[in-house]
Amino acid sequence: MSEHLLLADIGNTCIKIVFARPDALEAAYSLPTRAQHTADSLGLSLLQLVALRGLRPEDISACLVCSVVPDVNALFHEALRKYLNKTPFTFPGDFYIDLVNGYDQPQEVGADRLLAAFAARKLFPDAPSIISVDFGTATTFDCVSGDTYLGGLICPGLFSSRNALAANTAKLPRISLEMTEDHVRIGRNTVTSMNHGFLFGFAAMTEGLCQRLKEQLPGPTFVVGTGGAARDLSRICRAFDIVRPDLILEGLRLLWVRGGVRATA
């Protein structure tokens, strides 16, 4: 019988859940990350998703989780145990990775950033240096040279910036950030002005920062875009060599396949 994995990336905005086989990611779903969650609400949602895939809880071989939200992480673990009868493996605590952490204070690196860097290195082993750009609640740039994670940059997020501007201005609307054109133009109304300002502004920021980071990295540098907005932004952003929207979840899958679970897990 085929092995089925349940992978979860718990971020500050959403919980990304992917069903996978050892060789590939399959269906992806997204739940909001919110304080009102209970273990029961999450557990019932998980049962619905498992059924939607035509699976039963006993068909799930393993559950792997990467989280940057401790409170929701605890509820999610409880939900997995109570509703799927699974004890999840969590990154980084239950795994080791063959990537040297070069951060001054290694424990300060977000699990999502480190896992994305690991996945990028394993997926593209021939690149001397790699930059992974993740468009999440924050926009992060993470640099790998050889088998060393060097660190990177943390910048405002596309959607969180949009939300903050709408919340703190009296007359500016909350826009949808729809990618409707491939070229920037002078906005002749507020919605176009904001839409192009945000989308092309973040594209330009990404291009500029990647170019500046490349100047500090040895050898040709491969740039991987990931996160919710990466695919749309790739239409207007020249920085990316490839887009892998679920790089963090790819990292969880790769950890499982290569047997990176600690003996104490």
Active site residues: 112
240 is written with which tokens?
A: 């990316």
Segments of the chain assigned E as strands: 4-10, 14-21, 24-32, 60-67, 89-91, 100-101, 129-135, 138-145, 148-156, 221-227, 242-243
Cβ neighbours of 58 (radius 10 Å) = 10
238 is written with which tokens?
A: 């020249």
Nearest to 26 by CA among 45, 43, 2: 2
